[in-house]
């Protein structure tokens, strides 16, 4: 029986990439994210304009005899944000760490997908779904529990890289699964290409921080400034949050977290997490670092601009979000510089080329990028067979 591989979304966007593998009435879907979907937009409109993948039986009352299982490579919104729109009970598989984080986010009300039945797939433990075998491999990304995913149909092997980097704290994880895939002579490799989206002279490309250099620079900033330091990190990057707390203590400061961050960190095993006590901060601001979310920005009014602000991949992430202009305007009014101190969870272009070369698939698809054709060109230059599908296109194996 043939396998149909359909590209449903994310071919020329950063995130929101969705692919399905179908054989008979067995359908595997991975990932299941959205890029940007205002909460008030009806599901039907999101389906009609292509924000949601073209799977109407999952988002409406349309009946289907397909047995669908969803697989989530990691818990970023652009890879799992469509779960809340499911209209029928559907099994959703993810790693243990992702499931743990999803549970606490659900308890906090940050996530809610009543029709998603969350199940765990252990790393490197093949599981059968119809005639498909699915295996998760632990990878390095800026989310705990992130995975690359291999699908076998008994004859062919397909791989979804998920989001990946090679200059993070665990390149050995990537090298491990890349070695396994190279030996498997895979048929189709779906490779993210986020960092190919940007030109060399883009502002975001001037400095390439890593998780390690973020901590080094953070420590230096703490030593150089004798006033309150405010950080705006991403709540789902648990490992960075824990590292920031440890770095602050090494440099004589205590990070205070809001209740949501503190709850998430404790649930994910981070020890000795302290919540914000404004009375203590006002009394001795240079002893503290305060985590500040955009919706709590005016908590900083009491410091009359006497603070350092470090933007660490928290929301609003960039200029495409209207709230970013509000953040910049607030800091400008207080004569505070917005300092960026974040690190990408995505591999450098040259690392993506090296990874694709090493895996050496019979066919590589570039996606999860504003410029997939740019990545495709780089891969072709090193002799790889690259395919650029169109949205909705199906390959038959």
Domain topology for 209-340: Rossmann fold (3.40.50)
* Tokens encoding 218: 């953070």
pLDDT digits (tens, 9 = 90+) for 259-317: 999 999 999 999 999 999 999 999 999 999 999 999 999 999 999 999 999 999 998 87
Q: Is the pLDDT of residue 37 over 70?
A: no
Alpha-carbon distance values, 170 to 145, 166, 209, 298, 348 (Å): 12, 8, 15, 37, 15
Query: Residue 42 and residue 390: Cα distance in Å, rounded?
Result: 26
CB under 8 Å to 397, separation ≥6 — which residues?
Answer: 2, 3, 4, 5, 153, 155, 156, 158, 187, 188
Q: Can you give the pLDDT at residue 206?
A: 56
The candidate with the shortest Cα–Cα distance to 244, out of 269, 266, 273, 268, is: 273
Mean pLDDT confidence for 41-56: 87
Domain boundaries, the chain: 4-199+346-396, 209-340
Write the CATH number of the domain with boundaries 4-199+346-396: 3.60.15.10
The candidate with the shortest Cα–Cα distance to 101, out of 248, 291, 294, 239, is: 239
Q: Can you give the pLDDT at residue 287?
A: 96
Q: Can you give the pLDDT at residue 100?
A: 95
CB under 8 Å to 306, separation ≥6 — which residues?
Answer: 227, 228, 285
pLDDT digits (tens, 9 = 90+) for 358-392: 999 999 999 999 999 999 999 999 999 999 999 99
């Amino acid at each position: 029986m043939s396998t149909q591989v359909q590209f449903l979304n994310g071919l020329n966007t950063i995130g929101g990439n969705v692919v399905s593998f179908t054989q008979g009435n067995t359908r595997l879907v991975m990932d299941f994210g959205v890029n940007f979907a205002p909460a008030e937009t009806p599901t039907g409109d999101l389906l009609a304009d292509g924000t949601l993948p073209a799977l109407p039986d999952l988002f409406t009352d349309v009946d289907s005899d397909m047995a669908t299982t969803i697989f989530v490579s990691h818990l970023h919104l652009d890879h799992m944000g469509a779960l809340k729109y499911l209209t029928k009970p559907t099994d959703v598989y993810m790693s243990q760490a992702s499931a743990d984080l999803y549970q606490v986010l659900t308890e906090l009300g940050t996530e809610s997908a009543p029709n998603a039945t969350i199940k765990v797939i252990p790393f490197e433990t093949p599981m059968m779904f119809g005639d498909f075998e699915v295996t998760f491999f632990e990878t390095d990304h800026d989310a705990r529990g992130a995975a690359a995913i291999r699908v076998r149909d008994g004859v062919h092997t397909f791989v979804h890289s998920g989001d990946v980097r090679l200059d993070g704290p665990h390149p050995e994880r990537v090298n491990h699964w890349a070695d396994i895939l190279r030996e498997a002579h895979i048929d189709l490799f779906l490779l993210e290409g986020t960092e190919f989206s940007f030109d060399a002279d883009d502002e975001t490309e001037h400095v390439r921080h890593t998780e390690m250099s973020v901590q080094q620079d953070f420590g230096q900033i703490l030593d150089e400034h004798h006033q309150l330091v405010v950080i705006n990190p991403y709540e789902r990057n648990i490992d960075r949050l824990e590292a920031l707390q440890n770095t602050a203590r090494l440099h004589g400061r205590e990070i205070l977290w809001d209740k949501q961050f503190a709850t998430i960190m404790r649930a994910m095993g981070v020890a000795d997490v302290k919540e914000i006590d404004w009375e203590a901060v006002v009394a001795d601001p240079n002893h503290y670092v305060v985590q500040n979310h955009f919706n709590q920005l005016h908590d900083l009014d009491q410091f009359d601009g006497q603070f350092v602000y470090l933007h660490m991949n928290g929301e609003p992430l960039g200029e495409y979000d209207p709230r970013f202009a509000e953040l910049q305007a607030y800091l400008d009014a207080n004569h505070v510089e917005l300092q960026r101190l974040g690190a990408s969870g995505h591999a450098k272009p040259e690392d993506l080329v090296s990874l694709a070369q090493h895996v050496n698939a019979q066919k590589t698809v570039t996606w999860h990028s504003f410029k997939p054709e740019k990545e495709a060109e780089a891969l072709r230059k090193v002799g790889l067979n690259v395919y650029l599908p169109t949205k909705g296109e199906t390959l038959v194996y």
